[in-house]
Structure 1
Amino acid sequence: SRAKEFSIEKTYTDAEEMLAIEKPDVFCFSTQPTMRLPLVELGVKYGVKLINFEKPMARSLSEAKKINELCSEAGIKYVVSHQHIYAPYWKKAKKIIDTGEIGEIHTIHATSKANLLDLGCHLVDYALWCNHDSHAEWVIGHVDGKKGLLGSHGSPDMAFGKVKFENGVHAVFEFGALAPDYPKYSDRPYLANAVTVYGSHGYVKAMTDGYLQAFTKSSQGQVLKEQGDDWETQHKYLQIPYTKDIAEWLDDPRKVHPCNGDISYRGFQILMGICLSAYENRRINLPIKQIPAEPILKTLKRELPN
C-alpha cells in the first residue's frame, strides 16, 4: 500500500537483493532491534553512504560497538531516529537554553513511564543535545523488575541513573513503571515523559505531547506555559526536516545531523552503564572500555528477582 501511495513500482522482500540491484546512497530501515546489526553489515557490504535506523541502536554494548566501528571504518555516516528534537516545543526549549534565558545549566532531569530502551534512549539523546553534546564522565544506576526484559525492547521494569558530564552538569534519569505519573497519559505511557533543564536563573521543561513550561530571565517572575501540537499531529511532520538534514549532511560534512551515530552511541553507553552499575554495584566510568562477555540485559534477565 505504501508503494502505491508513493508510486514506487519495484519492491523487494530481500534487503540484500535490493542493495545489490539499486545501489542506494541511503539505506533506511525500521525493524525490531534484533535486526539492527545484520542490516548495518549489509549496508557496509554494499557501500552505502548513510544508514538510518530506528532506536534503540542495539541490544547490547558489543552490538553497538560493532555498529559504530563498522560505520566508522567504512566512512559511512549513520543516524538513529531520535526525531522528537524537530518538534516545535523542543526547538523552543533549546533556544531558551542556548540564549542563556535560564542561565548556566547545572542539572537535567528526564523521566518516562516507558522503559529504558523504548523511550529512555530518546530522552538521554535529548539531554546530550540540550547540554551542548558534552561527554559523560560516569554513571551510577539502579534497576528493578524483570518482566519488561521479556519484550522486544527488553529492559528492566524500572531504571534510575545519575550521570556526571565533563562540563560539570549532572543529569538524573528515571525510566519505567516507578517514574513520575502523568494521569492524563495513563493509557499512553509513551507520552508520559518529560525533560527539565535547570539553570542558575530558571528552568525549561518539555514533554512529548507538545507541552512547554519555563521560568526565565525575561518571564518577569511568571511561569510560562504553552501547549502546542499534540504528538498525533507532530509525528506527521517531524520526518520532513529530519530527512532534509540527512540530505544536507550527505552534501556537506560540516552539517552534521543532530541525531548522528556518535551522539547515539554515547547515549546508548549511558543506558547500558545504568544497568551495568546496578548489577556490579559500582560507578561506571564512561566511555565503557571493557565490555562484559555476556550482554548486561541478558544477565539482568537471569539474575533479577521475580
Structure 2
Amino acid sequence: AIVMEKPMALSLAEAREVSTLASEAGVQLIVSHQHKYGAHWRHVKELIDRGELGEIRTIHLTSKGWMAQYATHLIDYGLWLAGSPDILWATGHASGWNLLEPSHPSPNYFWGQLALANDVRLLIECGPSAPDQPGYRQPKTFSLDFWMNAGATVVGTKGEANVVVGRGWSAVTSQSGVIGSNDVAFDGVNDTVGLYKELANTLLAGSDTHSCRAVVALRGYEALVAICRSTVNRQTVPLPLSDSSEAIGQLQAILNPAN
C-alpha cells in the first residue's frame, strides 16, 4: 500500500495516471484525508445517517487555508457527509493573486458549488476571506488557529449541525434539541491512526474499500478541477469530466496581474 499527501497530484491527468497505475499493480493507494476520523466529524455523520437532521439540503464547507491546502479535504468530507452520491455539475469563482507563489499556489479566495445527485448542494469557500467558523475571529495568518478555522455546516429539514476542525461540534435538531461538545477537535496523531487502522483492516481482508482510497480521492480532485474550469470558462461544468485538460494552471494564469 501507498499512503500519500493531498492533493494527490498536480494535474487531473497525473491523478488519473497514478490511480490507474496503482490499481493495475494491485497496490492500495490511500490519500491522507484524515480529518473524517475525528470524533467530532463522526458525531455529525452519525446524526445525518440516523436521519436526525431530516433531508439534507446544503453542506457549507469553509477554511481559512487556501485552495491547494484545503479544498480537496473539504470536498472529500462534504461528499462523505452527503452519502457519496454522484456529482452532477460544478460552478465556481476565484479572486486575488497574492497566494500564487507558495508551494500550494492558490487564489486568495476560492468559491465553488457542487450539485449532487441526491439534491444536496455542497458550497466550498477557501482562503483568508472565507467566513470564520464559530469560536474564531480572524486569527493571525499561519497561526494554529488559522489552520483550525475550518469546518462544515450541514442544513437539513429537521435540524442543523456544525463541525469545526479545531473546536468540536454542535447541532440543533427537532428530536434532541441543542447538543454538542467542545471537548473533541482535530488530533493529528490519533485521527491519522484511524486512517492506518482502516488500512490494516482492508489489507488483512484483501479488500479495496478504504474510505480514503484513490478512486474516492480522485472524485474530489476532479470536482476541484471542474470548479476551476468553471471559473476560467464562466460556465457550469458537468461531471464526470470527459478529458484531463489543465485547469488549475489556467486559473493561476488569468488571476496573475503580470499576464
Cα deviation for residue 305 of structure 1 reads 4.4
- Per the alignment, in what secondary structure is the counterpart of residue 153 of structure 1? coil
- Tell me, yes or no, if the aligned pair for 1:84 and 1:90 is still in contact at 8 Å: yes
Cα deviation for residue 149 of structure 1 reads 2.1
- Tell me, yes or no, if the aligned pair for 1:111 and 1:174 is still in contact at 8 Å: yes
What is the CA deviation profile of residues 91-122 of structure 1, one whole-angstrom value per residue up to 9, with x for unaligned ones?
11111111111011111110111111201211
- Tell me, yes or no, if the aligned pair for 1:146 and 1:300 is still in contact at 8 Å: no
Per the alignment, residue 38 of structure 1 pairs with none
- Per the alignment, in what secondary structure is the counterpart of residue 198 of structure 2? helix
Higher relative contact order (CA 8 A, sep 6+): 2
Whole-angstrom distance in 1 between the partners of 2:79 and 2:184: 24
Letter in 2 for 1:249: T
Per the alignment, residue 227 of structure 1 pairs with 182
Per the alignment, residue 233 of structure 2 pairs with 280
Cα deviation for residue 224 of structure 1 reads 2.4
Q: Which runs of 5+ in 2 are unaligned?
A: none
- Per the alignment, in what secondary structure is the counterpart of residue 69 of structure 1? helix
- Tell me, yes or no, if the aligned pair for 1:134 and 1:167 is still in contact at 8 Å: yes
Q: Which runs of 5+ in 1 are unaligned?
A: 1-49
- Tell me, yes or no, if the aligned pair for 1:128 and 1:263 is still in contact at 8 Å: no
2:226 corresponds to 1:269: no
Whole-angstrom distance in 2 between the partners of 1:141 and 1:242: 31
1:205 paired residue among 138, 159, 162: 162
How high is the sequence identity, in percent, across the aligned residues? 33
Cα deviation for residue 253 of structure 1 reads 4.3
Larger Rg: 1
Cα deviation for residue 147 of structure 1 reads 2.2
Cα deviation for residue 246 of structure 1 reads 0.5
Q: Aligned pairs, how many?
A: 251
1:289 paired residue among 224, 242, 256: 242
Whole-angstrom distance in 1 between the partners of 2:18 and 2:8: 8
Per the alignment, residue 238 of structure 1 pairs with 191
Per the alignment, residue 87 of structure 1 pairs with 38
Letter in 2 for 1:217: S
2:149 corresponds to 1:192: yes
Whole-angstrom distance in 2 between the partners of 1:299 and 1:171: 24
Cα deviation for residue 298 of structure 1 reads 2.0
Whole-angstrom distance in 1 between the partners of 2:124 and 2:64: 11
Cα deviation for residue 302 of structure 1 reads 2.2
- Per the alignment, in what secondary structure is the counterpart of residue 146 of structure 1? coil
2:67 corresponds to 1:113: no
Per the alignment, residue 183 of structure 1 pairs with 137
Q: CA RMSD in A?
A: 1.6
For residues 66-77 of structure 1, the aligned pairs below 5 Å read: 66-77=17-28
| TM-score calculated relative to the size of structure 2 | 0.91
Whole-angstrom distance in 2 between the partners of 1:51 and 1:73: 14
1:215 paired residue among 168, 172, 177: 172
Cα deviation for residue 289 of structure 1 reads 1.2
| TM-score calculated relative to the size of structure 1 | 0.78
Moved over 4 A (4+): none
Letter in 2 for 1:141: G
Whole-angstrom distance in 1 between the partners of 2:156 and 2:211: 23
Cα deviation for residue 84 of structure 1 reads 0.8
Change (3 A) 1:185 1:213: farther
More helix by share: 1
